[in-house]
Structure 1
Amino acid sequence: MMGSWRWNVGLGLFGVVLTFLFSLDSNGLGVSAVRSVYAFIAFFVLAYLFRIVLAAVFREIVTKPVQEPETMDENKGSTVDMSTPDETDQLNEMLRMQLDGNVKTDTDEQVPFQPLTPPKLVSTQNKEPEELAKAIRHLTGG
């Protein structure tokens, strides 16, 4: 078991103080005192349950065997290669293809460049009122 009964009493007293302060505003002294006793019991039991759960979790962590790595290379991870590969030929080829207006795909086919053609926005200024009413009924489900 983790800790001692003092943790339970401490959390119980914390519950007593909180309950008494919040209950005293809207209740009398007697009702607030009774509710504080109930709060002490509830916080004491909840702290006990919380300690049991923590003990089970830590017991599981502590008893779990540590797996040793099979082989450790002593130099592994001690140096970092900060150089980038030389891809200037590949970059020049891509730029040349872009200037020609062709885009190379994964299947090695040359596809001419085509800009996006989004649909045009439609104005409702010159529409018939009946068409607008039908559209509104259709959108509102009425």
Structure 2
Amino acid sequence: MTGTIRWNMVMGACGFVFTTLVSISSNLWSTSLIRGLIAGAIWFLLGFLLRYAAGILKAPGREEPQDQAAYNASSSGHNVDMSTPDETDTLKDLLRNTPTENEPKAVSHEEQEIKFEPLTPPKFVSKLPQDGEQLAQAVRHMAKE
């Protein structure tokens, strides 16, 4: 575990103070203190968990070297220095847009012979009865409901 028990006590005290201050506005002072003590105990125990996780992340099996030569020897191969190749010539060729022999020749708009055909949507047909008597019966029927 990393650190000392003081970290647990500080976390427990912060949990106690925060919970008590939040709880005192809507509860009795005794209820707020009890809830604060419970929260402080929980935060105290969470401190152990956080200290244990910090100890694992620190990797205690691997000690830090004391001198620079040992540090350079142990850290070789950990860093990769990558750089991108200079591609300015390729970019300039793309910007010039000069077609090469492998690319097909662009066809002009006039050579494509595009025929314009407007859309012909179907017409909306009403399903209303054509007879006046049927229309009157439909209105009477809907008025009764």
TM-score after normalising by structure 2 = 0.53
Task: Name the SS for the 2:97 alignment partner.
Answer: helix
Are 1:97 and 2:105 counterparts?
Answer: yes
Spell out the pairing of 1:44-123 with structure 2 (5 A cutoff).
44-59=44-59, 62=62, 68-69=76-77, 81=86, 83-85=88-90, 87=93, 91-93=97-99, 97-98=105-106, 100-101=107-108
- The answer for the alignment partner of 1:27 in structure 2 is 27
Structure-1 residue corresponding to 2:7: 7
Counterparts of 1:22 and 1:83, CA distance in 2: 62
Give the secondary-structure state (helix, strand or coil) at the position aligned to 1:46. helix
Within 2, Cα distance between the matches of 1:48 and 1:35?
21
CA RMSD after TM alignment: 4.5
Higher alpha-carbon Rg: 2
Work out the CA distance in 1 between the residues paired with 2:18 and 2:30.
Answer: 16
CA shift in 2, pair 1:4/1:127, >3 Å: farther
Give the deviation of 1:93 after TM superposition. Answer: 2.5
In 2: Cα distance, 1:48 partner to 1:121 partner = 76
Instruction: Number of aligned residue pairs: give it.
Output: 108
CA separation of 1:36 and 1:122: change in aligned 2, threshold 3 A: farther
Distance 1:127 1:19, change over 3 A: farther
Specify the alignment match of 1:40 in structure 2. Answer: 40
Which of 115, 124, 130 is equivalent to 1:126?
A: 124
TM-score after normalising by structure 1: 0.54
Percent identity, aligned pairs only, is 21
Secondary structure at the residue paired with 2:89? Answer: coil
Q: Distance in 1 between matches of 2:16 and 2:28?
A: 15
Give the Cα separation in 1 of the matches to 2:121 and 2:23. 63
